[in-house]
Amino acid sequence: MTQRSDSPSSRSRPSTALGVSALYRRLFGASQILVATHREPVVWVERSPEETRKNPAPRLRYPAGGVSQSLHRLLLQTGGDWVALRSSPGPDPLTVSISDQPASYDLHRISLGDPEVSSGYQRFANDLLWPLFHEEPGRVLTAPGDFEDYDHANGLFADRMATLLASKHNGVVFIHDYQLALVARHLRPRLPGNPPPFAFFWHIPWPRRSFLQEVPERAEIVRGLLEHDLLGFQTPLYRDRFLESAAELLGEEIRVRRQTVHWKGRRIHVGDYPIGVDPGRFESLAQSPEGPTLARNFLRAAGMDPDIPFLISVDRMDYTKGFLKRLAILETLFHRYPEHAGSLRLLQIAPPTRTTHLPYRSYQERVRQAVKETNARWTRDGQAPVVTIEETVDHRTLAPLYRLAAGALVTSTNDGMNLVAKEYLSTQKDAGGTLFLSRYAGAAHGLRDAVLIDPYDPEGAAHIIHRTLGEPLAIRSGRNRILREEISRHNIYEWMESILTEVHDARNRG
């Protein structure tokens, strides 16, 4: 990401939530932000009649997710609106407020209605775009008409957003990820005069040319993205691949100059903005007085002895996270260095995802079978080497688990960023846990001092894990100190400040 001398990341102090709010007010005044995502930032939980009598206020659950929860906190400072696909009951719109926050926002939930449209939208997004943009063409599963359903669903988002923009004064529109690539194409023509600036963030990788060519509607996806004033990617590699794709697919329609695309009389800034986490929050949770008790009780409930060293992995059970390759690395470690068998275990926090989709169900069954086989071979003294927890773990427990773990094992075969890597490091103040980071995760671009592994090379990865676990504490904690400085400097709030600043400047330049 190109840095200016007065940019947020040039400051000596890390950016904060209050700093983002103050910057937003300075740039956009009293106007509010309009956010659009595929998933809801909060989930309405039905209360029992008895609970409702005691407390009629809505009960909300906050899914894990650094980006959505940070945007949630921003809107509680500035006010605004959020449009997402409905995944829980409750009213529409749902007003989201917290007693100690100065503002609230309305969550507007989209219902796709026709099950056929919903299925086609989900297939195009999750069974075509997701595997191809993660360079897994063998997992594509589509049907005729899926693109039309995807386009229609994006149009429904645009309909709701256009209605909101007609009645409210919004400072910026911020749309997220591959599920909503065409929303702005429907939205911009419906906004007369001078609409607010549009920002879009593409969270997943942008693939190499050979994989993008497998998407028949690739030019339409690129045109849809160019309807924004700012377009952000996780790394310079993904940014540059997009610019190359745009130049090749659209030809004389566009002109590309460095990180600016000239198209249809407009200038679109294309940049790289690596997402961070809130390190202070994870550090605080990891070192809370109740943290060690929560972590040790969790391990005991999972059948693990808290005093036996363990590695931790935290991923949705998705094929891009390299579960089978992770188990191959563990098997190789035990085979080549048998002293670890019985003295080192792996805790996998792995909630299943997209369980209605056949490719995911099939992969998840393969993972479960591979875990059974590994445990059958390497169980010692009744202690299985791999324990898988197929549910989300609350951050209050997860953070102290991170701190207690001897290492975090990230084995993604292709990953836009991987925030688990940064969450883990956030908990390692004065500690010697090691992040073993796949070189194919976007996080590896910024965390250059991390211990990198190649999930396609189990022999090499096993050797690196064995060697690093044996390093003196001073070396491991020193490495963590350097890495923690990096994630503190480039945290989630710096990411938000950079995008807000750039979309404001891009509109003014335009």
Residue 499 and residue 353 in one domain: no
Treating both helix axes as pointing N-terminal to C-terminal, what angle do 17-28 and 492-509 enclose, rounded to 10 degrees?
A: 10
N- to C-terminal Cα separation, the chain: 20
Which distant-in-sequence residues (6+ apart) come within 8 Å of 74 by Cβ?
Answer: 17, 20, 21, 24, 33, 496
Q: Exposure string (b/e) for 252-269, b if CB count within 10 Å is 16 or more? A: ebbebeebbbebeeeebb
Q: How many Å apart are CA 92 and CA 99, to the nearest integer?
A: 21
Q: Which of 9-18, 327-336, 424-433, 485-494 is predicted with the least confidence, judged by mean pLDDT?
A: 9-18
Task: Look at residue 312 and tell me if it is in a domain.
Answer: yes
Residue 251 and residue 303 in one domain: no
Range of the domain at 473: 279-489
Residue 270 and residue 291 in one domain: no
Tokens matching residue 166: 């007609």
Q: How many Å apart are CA 277 and CA 254, to the nearest integer?
A: 35
Distances (CA, A) of 252 to 248, 249, 262: 9, 9, 11
Residue 232 and residue 350 in one domain: no
**pLDDT at 3 exceeding the cut of 60:** no
Reported confidence tier of residue 111, pLDDT bands at 50, 70, 90? very high
Task: Look at residue 201 and tell me if it is in a domain.
Answer: yes
Q: Among 169, 194, 150, 133, which residue's Cα sits nearest to residue 29?
A: 169
**pLDDT at 478 exceeding the cut of 50:** yes
Torsion of CA 192, 194, 200, 206, to 10 degrees: 80
DSSP secondary structure letter of residue 317: B
Q: Whole-number mean pLDDT of the chain?
A: 92
Domain containing residue 480: CATH number: 3.40.50.2000
Residue 325 and residue 264 in one domain: no
> Which pLDDT belongs to residue 128?
96
> Which pLDDT belongs to residue 56?
60
**pLDDT at 187 exceeding the cut of 60:** yes
**pLDDT at 477 exceeding the cut of 70:** yes
Four-residue CA torsion sign, 91, 390, 130, 223: positive
- pLDDT more than 70, % of the chain: 94
Tokens matching residue 285: 């949770």
Residue 406 and residue 468 in one domain: yes
Q: Is the separation of the CB atoms in 78 and 21 below 8 Å?
A: yes
Reported confidence tier of residue 442, pLDDT bands at 50, 70, 90? very high
Task: Look at residue 366 and tell me if it is in a domain.
Answer: yes
Q: Please name the amino acid found at residue 182.
A: L
- pLDDT more than 90, % of the chain: 78
**pLDDT at 421 exceeding the cut of 60:** yes
Which distant-in-sequence residues (6+ apart) come within 8 Å of 180 by Cβ?
Answer: 36, 37, 38, 154, 157
Q: Which of 57-71, 122-136, 214-228, 340-354 is predicted with the least confidence, judged by mean pLDDT?
A: 57-71
Phi, psi of 352 (to 5 degrees): -65, 150
Q: How many Å apart are CA 82 and CA 91, to the nearest integer?
A: 14
Residue 327 and residue 250 in one domain: no
Residue 470 and residue 394 in one domain: yes
pTM of the model: 0.93
Four-residue CA torsion sign, 243, 246, 252, 255: negative
Task: Look at residue 119 and tell me if it is in a domain.
Answer: no
Distances (CA, A) of 460 to 116, 176, 336, 432, 452: 47, 37, 11, 22, 10
Torsion of CA 505, 506, 509, 510, to 10 degrees: -150
Tokens matching residue 378: 């390497």
Q: How many Å apart are CA 323 and CA 328, to the nearest integer?
A: 9
> Which pLDDT belongs to residue 123?
94
> Which pLDDT belongs to residue 9?
45
Q: Is the separation of the CB atoms in 433 and 420 below 8 Å?
A: no
**pLDDT at 6 exceeding the cut of 60:** no
> Which pLDDT belongs to residue 53?
64
Residue 319 and residue 246 in one domain: no
Task: Look at residue 8 and tell me if it is in a domain.
Answer: no
Q: Which of 40-44, 247-251, 306-310 is predicted with the least confidence, judged by mean pLDDT?
A: 40-44
Residue that wins the pLDDT comparison between 506 and 330: 330
Give mean pLDDT, residues 303-327: 96
**pLDDT at 55 exceeding the cut of 90:** no
Task: Look at residue 209 and tell me if it is in a domain.
Answer: yes
| β 32-36/170-176 pair status | parallel
**pLDDT at 69 exceeding the cut of 80:** no
Reported confidence tier of residue 356, pLDDT bands at 50, 70, 90? confident
> Which pLDDT belongs to residue 510?
59
Reported confidence tier of residue 198, pLDDT bands at 50, 70, 90? very high
DSSP secondary structure letter of residue 339: G
Q: How many Å apart are CA 505 and CA 501, to the nearest integer?
A: 6
Reported confidence tier of residue 193, pLDDT bands at 50, 70, 90? confident
Task: Look at residue 474 and tell me if it is in a domain.
Answer: yes
Tokens matching residue 191: 């906004």
Give mean pLDDT, residues 297-303: 97
Give mean pLDDT, residues 306-319: 96
**pLDDT at 52 exceeding the cut of 60:** no
Residue 259 and residue 296 in one domain: no
Q: Is the separation of the CB atoms in 61 and 40 below 8 Å?
A: no
Number of domains in the chain: 2
**pLDDT at 319 exceeding the cut of 50:** yes
Residue 264 and residue 335 in one domain: no
Q: Which of 73-82, 153-162, 289-298, 389-398 is predicted with the least confidence, judged by mean pLDDT?
A: 73-82
> Which pLDDT belongs to residue 12?
63
Q: How many Å apart are CA 374 and CA 96, to the nearest integer?
A: 45
Tokens matching residue 112: 């796709």
Residue 430 and residue 505 in one domain: no
> Which pLDDT belongs to residue 4?
41
Phi, psi of 441 (to 5 degrees): -90, 145
**pLDDT at 225 exceeding the cut of 60:** yes
Task: Look at residue 152 and tell me if it is in a domain.
Answer: no
Helix residue ranges, H only, 64-145: 66-78, 115-124, 130-133
> Which pLDDT belongs to residue 54?
66
